[in-house]
Amino acid sequence: MNFSNKSIILGICIMVLSCTNKKNNEVPVSQKKPKLVVGIVVDQMRYDYLTRFKSKFGTGGFKRLLSNGFSLKNAHFNYIPTYTAVGHTSIFTGTTPDNHGIIGNHWYDKYAKKMIYCVDDSNYKTIGNDGEGGKKSPYRMITTTVTDQLKLAQNMQGKTIGIGIKDRSAILPAGHTASAAYWFDGGAKGQWISSSFYMEELPKWVTEFNTSGKVESYLQEPWTTLYDIETYTESIADDNEFEQPFKGEERPTFPHDIPTLRSKNNNYSIIKALPAGNSLTTDFAIASIEGESLGQTSFTDFLTLSFSSTDYVGHQFGVDSKEIEDTYLRLDKDLERILNYLDTKIGKNNYTVFLTADHAAVQVPSYLKSVNIPADYFSSTQFATYVNDITKKHFKSDRLVENISNFQLFLNKTTIEKKNLTVNEVADVIADNVINYNGIYKSITAKTIQKSAYTSGILNSLQNGYNQKFSGDILLVPNPSTISYSKKGSTHGSGYSYDTHIPIIFYGNGIKKGTSTKKYTIIDIAPTISNLLEIEFPNGNTGKIIDEVLK
């Protein structure tokens, strides 16, 4: 063989080897990390809304996620209380209130001796206007989020943006290291604002959005149903006694004359209680992706997006109302709009979405009672009197309980000590006696929770929600479908299935198609997304990876 032939053969071998190595080392598109993760939380969404309204959803919103993503049909919250701030925090920290420290929206601070709000922080000022609505930060959340861990893993590169009409729903998911969080300031303002925790001034794109007239445009027409109201057969009669009308309305019925009603309902704040609030949030989310160039670098960006108007509508009109049905049919259109935008802007295989809820909701107890289902209302004032009668009878004092809130009792340790009593003996007596109060299903002392390890059931949920440093001395569980609320509209907060059973859907880059009926908990989302992104779990994580959703 001459030199020329050897050279040709060697060249062919090098070419083959080079092609083989390139093929083996090249990462298929489907295995590349997403350029953008979008974590969607629908406030107060019950799982059964997916099935109840399925026949009326289009193909591009909820159905697209269900058909092409992975849906968990038996996903639940595993703690009490099921409130907005707690839910958003647990989703993104991968743990429960006993670890992350957010034990409510508001709770009694037993050190400061006052009620506090989860994201209030007087160290910061409002960015965007001269109001008080921006004095906020996530400092009361004592663990990291999956969004924090992504920033740490990328050496603080990449952007995290939090968006929600509610401040707590924007701030807590975005974490301590967020590039920005934005929420809506209603009343006379009608603007998206932020906090000096994040920035010194609003970016140009936010200012342009605020001056675009978009908010005002949504308040120019009455709220009518998307489709013929006669087709809304999944809901009870429009005119009923279980819904709360807007101020200025005689009956809670369609159409709702928003241009007229806004002046009596805190002006721009009325948009929070309309499907238009979700549409406005979608507009702002799209503007944020465009304005911040999310998903356009070699780093992974994260957008946390909370749709809050579903919660306002649910509280006012209830689970079975035609208003809640119309709100979800319109949200379906907004989801389609943002998914189509992501396809175009980021690329169909370049983003990952998960959709879940921060809690579900109970059907209006007065409605349940009307159809002979056990349900009731809990009077906090009457209960406080009952508790004081107990302490007067056993300890000759009605000053031993400092605060009653969120179905927790905080004892006055100073007074107890002065009377030569102990916290444990007072707590034991109260817990043993309040169980006899109509509407209370279980009562347990903090000391009992600290000494026990409940592995299932309602007491396990109560234990997961108990934080030794911040929670009360006695914890209560009301009867099923028993709430401390108005008899019109509904609420949430319990550990019963109607409050805990929520959707969890994963979609997009790195996600399989399918469904599962295995039981998963809300805290499993963060470690699953962390695993997908190949980053460390949030530092308080107690959830597990949901293997079956990942490719």
The DSSP code sequence of 30-94 is GGSPPSEEEEEEETT--THHHHHTGGGS-TTTHHHHHHHSEEEEEEE--SS---HHHHHHHHHHT
- Residue 84 within a domain: yes
Please identify which residue in the block is written with the tokens 């996600």: 511
Last residue of a domain, one of 451, 479, 507: 479
User: Omega before 222 cis (within 30°)?
Assistant: no
Are 91 and 185 in the same domain? yes
Q: Which residue in the list 82, 84, 126, 145 is annotated as catalytic?
A: 84
| Statement to judge: residues 452 and 512 lie in one domain | no
Does residue 363 sit in the same domain as residue 425?
A: no
Q: What is the pLDDT of residue 9?
A: 39
Angstrom distance (rounded) from CA 116 to CA 183: 19
What's the pLDDT score for residue 31?
53
Contact 218, 262 (CB under 8 A): no
**382 in the same domain as 356:** no
Which residue, 425, 451, 479, sits at the end of a domain? 479
Both 395 and 507 in one domain: the answer is: no
Same domain? For 98 and 244 the reply is yes
The last residue of one of the domains, among 448, 479, 510, is 479
For residue 51, count other CB atoms closer than 10 A to its CB: 12
Task: Based on the fold, state whether residues 447 and 532 are members of the same structural domain.
Answer: no
Q: What is the CATH number of the domain that holds 259?
A: 3.40.720.10
CA distance linking residue 279 with residue 283, whole number of Å? 6
Q: Are residues 193 and 287 in the same domain?
A: yes
Tell me, yes or no, whether 306 lies in a domain.
Answer: no
| 137 within 8 A of 194, measured Cβ to Cβ | no
Name the maximum alpha-carbon separation found in the chain.
112
Give 302-364 as a DSSP string: EEEEEE-HHHHHHHHH-TTSHHHHHHHHHHHHHHHHHHHHHHHHT-TTSEEEEEEES---PPP
What is the model's pLDDT at position 331?
99
- Give the SS3 label for residue 259: helix
Residue 72 in tokens? 């968990």
Token pair in block for residue 411: 């004892």
Q: In terms of residue numbers, what domain contains 126?
A: 45-159+166-299+311-369+496-549
Establish if 24 belongs to a structural domain. no
Say if 36 falls within a structural domain: no
Considering the domain architecture, whether residues 49 and 177 belong to the same structural domain is answered as yes
Q: Would you say residue 333 lies in a domain?
A: yes
Query: 414 lies in a domain?
Result: yes
Each residue's pLDDT, cut to its tens digit, for the chain (551 residues) gives: 344 444 443 343 334 334 444 334 333 334 589 999 999 999 999 999 999 999 999 999 999 999 999 999 999 999 999 999 999 999 999 999 999 999 999 999 999 999 999 999 999 999 999 999 999 999 999 999 999 999 999 999 999 999 999 999 999 999 999 999 999 999 999 999 999 999 999 999 999 999 999 999 999 999 999 999 999 999 999 999 999 999 999 999 999 999 999 999 999 999 999 999 999 999 999 999 999 999 999 999 999 999 999 999 999 999 999 999 999 999 999 999 999 999 999 999 999 999 999 999 999 999 999 999 999 999 999 999 999 999 999 999 999 999 999 999 999 999 999 999 999 999 999 999 999 999 999 999 999 999 999 999 999 999 999 999 999 999 999 999 999 999 999 999 999 999 999 999 999 999 999 999 999 999 999 999 999 999 999 999 999 999 999 99
To the nearest 10 degrees (0 to 180), the angle between helices 525-533 and 84-93 is: 30
Within 10 A of 235 (CB to CB), how many other CB atoms are there?
20
Token pair 């209960």 in the structure block, residue: 383
Q: For residue 486, tell me if it sits in a domain.
A: no
How many domains does one find in the chain?
2
Whether residues 364 and 418 share a domain: the answer is no
Instruction: Answer yes or no: 84 catalytic.
Output: yes
Token couple for 433 = 């006696």
Residue 392 DSSP class = H
Do 251 and 114 fall into the same domain?
A: yes
Domain presence at residue 490: no
Whether residues 283 and 405 share a domain: the answer is: no
Contact 268, 188 (CB under 8 A): yes
CATH number of residue 385's parent domain = 3.30.1360.150
